[in-house]
């Protein structure tokens, strides 16, 4: 009889069908949880010994054996066996092979149901924090690039149409705000999931006098979970984490889309480093923004991972069901995709060259100063709707005559409305237009510089030296 069959005791007289064994095995995926599984087992057996449920000698042998297995896995020396189905049985069966009957006492007072729920909470909690740290690394890059581009103006867009002038630094800081919220969602999810299922066993706890508070503390949880059915039967903590990842992936995709657009000849706002672009197999002139395009593509996978979890959970009765085995692939995939995308885009932006002259040239076309005309009249007690109409009529005149607003004469302005005077020409200056938007959240120089300083301070409160981290990623700073 196989080790896998022995694990289920004397209830079964026949071997599991080979196809069924292969179909149900999860070791190719969940072996990634080995460090968390061993950590939980050490906490569990330590508690069992403290409560007198197993002997100190058996507990010491189990802990020593688990630590040896943990080291072998870390060094790549451990062989996972398919016939032992999952990570839990691979670790426990190997332990028992090595230390004998004492290994069989490890599973006292617990089930694979609370074991795997504990493993996944540890993994996901720690992964949320690790991804948040990657976001901070990205934020350091954005902070540095913003500080380098305060003087650069470019068109801001709505509907992908040129709208109003802004500072490039202001645009980059918008990216940072999006990602900082994603960081907060990940850490919020990590906090909410930080409760221990260990000791809830299959669904109704155990008859042994265990100490769930002790194991919770040992594993860094805030407290034991309050309900054993809920503890082993739900995976909403995974939904919340992957939802935060999906949101982050969407933000990264939007950033990537702008990098793709900006690197085209039509825009020419940015040139990506050779390290983050590729060529064409047939067209030698091409420099394709493949990393940014892949960031957009991988976002679909992460959104799909979230949908997979939601659909998996939607019809499950309490408590544990084997469907829950399928929670791991989407979770691992979502973290891997977002972590890699954060690293790749951070490097791409750190090493990119911004086309400041091309950005400024783009301010000439598209009547980005039309709002200044309307605001100029409104500041002179002309109702804004009337001012808006006048500015629109002047734009139409310029379109028909293939001119720009700054090329109109004072007489032409005054023909459109008597409230115009020669101050209108200074109002049409793009730098002046940006500087007039001097309020919290606006693109005026003082506001942008304050925002950069605030982001730097925010990162410093997290023990991150933004300049040093950005330099490590690849930002090149001019010599002082």
- Who wins on pLDDT, 135 or 4? 135
Asked if residue 1 has pLDDT above 60, the reply is no
What does the pLDDT look like over 87-145, one tens digit per residue? 999 999 999 999 999 999 999 999 999 999 999 999 999 999 999 999 999 999 999 99
The percent of residues in the chain predicted with pLDDT above 70, rounded, is: 98
Q: In angstroms, rounded to a whole number, what is the distance separating the alpha carbons of residues 231 and 215?
A: 15
- Beta-carbon contacts of 251 under 8 Å, excluding residues fewer than 6 positions away, are 175, 178, 179, 182
What does the pLDDT look like over 242-261, one tens digit per residue? 999 999 999 999 999 999 99
What CA–CA distances, in Å, run from 465 to 144, 179, 342, 462, 472?
A: 11, 18, 18, 9, 11
Q: In angstroms, rounded to a whole number, what is the distance separating the alpha carbons of residues 270 and 353?
A: 6
pLDDT for the residue 7? 53
What does the pLDDT look like over 255-301, one tens digit per residue? 999 999 999 999 999 999 999 999 888 988 889 999 999 999 999 99
pLDDT for the residue 392? 96
What does the pLDDT look like over 141-178, one tens digit per residue? 999 999 999 999 999 999 999 999 999 999 999 999 99
Asked if residue 240 has pLDDT above 60, the reply is yes
Angle in degrees, 0-180, between the axes of helices 328-351 and 290-313, rounded to the nearest 10: 160
Could you list the active site residues? 159, 280
Asked if residue 8 has pLDDT above 90, the reply is no
Q: In angstroms, rounded to a whole number, what is the distance separating the alpha carbons of residues 147 and 352?
A: 15
Strands 223-224 and 195-196: parallel
Measured CA angle at 203 (ends 201, 206), to 5 deg: 45
Asked if residue 13 has pLDDT above 80, the reply is no
β partners of residue 278: 288
What CA–CA distances, in Å, run from 228 to 46, 192, 196, 202, 424?
A: 21, 17, 10, 8, 72
* Pick from 37, 34, 40, 36: nearest CA to 76: 34
DSSP 283-303: -TT--B-HHHHHHHHHHHHHH
What CA–CA distances, in Å, run from 227 to 197, 199, 235, 266?
A: 9, 11, 14, 59
pLDDT for the residue 9? 62
C-alpha of 197 from chain center: 26
Tell me the mean pLDDT in the region 452-473: 97
Q: In angstroms, rounded to a whole number, what is the distance separating the alpha carbons of residues 428 and 409?
A: 13
Length of the chain: 480
pLDDT for the residue 285? 85
pLDDT for the residue 344? 97
Q: Please give the structure tokens belonging to residue 53.
A: 């449920």
The percent of residues in the chain predicted with pLDDT above 90, rounded, is: 91
Q: Please give the structure tokens belonging to residue 205.
A: 């706890």
Whether the upstream peptide bond of residue 319 has omega within 30° of 0, thus cis, is: yes
Q: In angstroms, rounded to a whole number, what is the distance separating the alpha carbons of residues 137 and 466?
A: 8
Asked if residue 480 has pLDDT above 70, the reply is no
Is residue 340 very low, low, confident or very high in pLDDT (cuts 50, 70, 90)?
A: very high
Average pLDDT, the chain: 95
Tell me the mean pLDDT in the region 310-331: 95
Q: Which run of H or of E encompasses 155? A: strand 153-158
Tell me the mean pLDDT in the region 344-349: 98
What does the pLDDT look like over 205-215, one tens digit per residue? 999 999 999 99
What does the pLDDT look like over 30-72, one tens digit per residue? 999 999 999 999 999 999 999 999 999 999 999 999 999 999 9
Is residue 2 very low, low, confident or very high in pLDDT (cuts 50, 70, 90)?
A: very low
pLDDT for the residue 37? 98
Structural domains in the chain, sorted by start: 3-108 (1.10.275.10), 116-198+232-361 (1.20.200.10), 370-427 (1.10.40.30)
What CA–CA distances, in Å, run from 72 to 4, 76, 116, 281?
A: 22, 6, 21, 44
Q: Residue 157: left (phi > 0), alpha (psi -120 to 50), or beta?
A: beta
Tell me the mean pLDDT in the region 313-318: 95
CB distance 103 to 54 below 8 Å: no
Is residue 360 very low, low, confident or very high in pLDDT (cuts 50, 70, 90)?
A: very high
Q: Which run of H or of E encompasses 224? A: strand 223-224
Question: Three-state SS across 107-128?
Answer: CCCCCHHHHHHHHHHHHHHHHH
CB distance 464 to 140 below 8 Å: yes
pLDDT for the residue 14? 81
Asked if residue 24 has pLDDT above 90, the reply is no
C-alpha of 288 from chain center: 25
Q: Please give the structure tokens belonging to residue 159.
A: 């509907």
Q: Please give the structure tokens belonging to residue 256.
A: 């990537």
What does the pLDDT look like over 391-436, one tens digit per residue? 999 999 999 999 999 999 999 999 999 999 999 999 999 999 999 9
Tell me the mean pLDDT in the region 335-358: 97
- Beta-carbon contacts of 479 under 8 Å, excluding residues fewer than 6 positions away, are none
């Amino acid at each position: 009889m196989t080790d896998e069959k022995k694990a289920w005791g004397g209830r079964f007289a026949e071997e599991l069908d080979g196809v069924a064994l292969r179909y149900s095995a999860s070791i190719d995926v969940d072996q990634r949880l080995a460090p968390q599984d061993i950590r939980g087992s050490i906490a569990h057996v330590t508690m069992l010994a403290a409560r007198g449920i197993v002997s100190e000698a058996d507990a010491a042998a189990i802990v020593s054996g688990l630590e040896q297995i943990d080291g072998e896995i870390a060094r790549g020396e451990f062989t996972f066996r398919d016939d032992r189905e999952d990570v839990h049985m691979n670790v426990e069966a190997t332990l028992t092979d090595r230390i004998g009957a004492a290994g069989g006492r490890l599973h006292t007072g617990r089930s694979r149901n609370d074991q795997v729920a504990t493993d996944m909470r540890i993994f996901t909690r720690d992964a949320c924090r690790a991804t948040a740290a990657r976001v901070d690394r990205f934020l350091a890059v954005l902070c540095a690039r913003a500080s380098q581009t305060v003087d650069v103006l470019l068109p801001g867009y709505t509907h992908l149409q040129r709208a109003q002038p802004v500072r490039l630094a202001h645009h980059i800081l918008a990216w940072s705000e999006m990602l900082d919220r994603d960081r907060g969602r990940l850490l919020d999810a990590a906090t909410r999931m930080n409760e221990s299922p260990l000791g809830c066993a299959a669904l109704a706890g155990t008859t042994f006098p265990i100490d769930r508070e002790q194991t919770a503390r040992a594993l860094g949880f805030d407290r034991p979970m309050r309900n054993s059915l809920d503890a082993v039967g739900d995976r909403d903590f995974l939904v919340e984490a992957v939802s935060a990842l999906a949101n982050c992936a969407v933000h990264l995709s939007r950033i990537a889309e702008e990098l793709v657009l900006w690197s085209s000849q039509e825009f020419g706002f940015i040139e990506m480093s050779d390290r983050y672009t590729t060529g064409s197999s047939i067209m030698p002139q091409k420099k394709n923004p493949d990393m940014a395009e892949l960031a957009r593509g991988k976002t679909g996978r992460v959104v799909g991972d979230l949908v997979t979890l939601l659909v998996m959970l939607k019809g499950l009765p309490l408590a544990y069901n084997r469907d829950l085995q399928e929670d791991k692939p989407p979770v691992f995939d979502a973290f891997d995709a977002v972590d890699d995308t954060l690293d790749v885009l951070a490097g791409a932006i750190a090493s990119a060259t911004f086309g400041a002259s091309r950005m400024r040239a783009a301010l000439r076309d598209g009547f980005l100063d039309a709002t200044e005309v309307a605001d100029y009249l409104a500041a002179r007690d002309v109702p804004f709707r009337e001012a808006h109409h006048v500015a629109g009529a002047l734009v139409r005149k310029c379109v028909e005559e293939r001119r720009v607003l700054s090329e109109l004469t004072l007489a032409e302005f005054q023909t459109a409305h008597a409230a115009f005077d020669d101050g209108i020409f200074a109002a049409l200056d793009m730098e002046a237009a940006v500087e007039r938007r001097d309020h919290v959240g606006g693109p005026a120089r003082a506001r942008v510089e304050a925002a950069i300083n605030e982001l730097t301070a925010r990162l410093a409160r997290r023990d991150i030296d933004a300049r040093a981290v950005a330099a490590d990623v690849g930002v090149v700073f001019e010599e002082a």
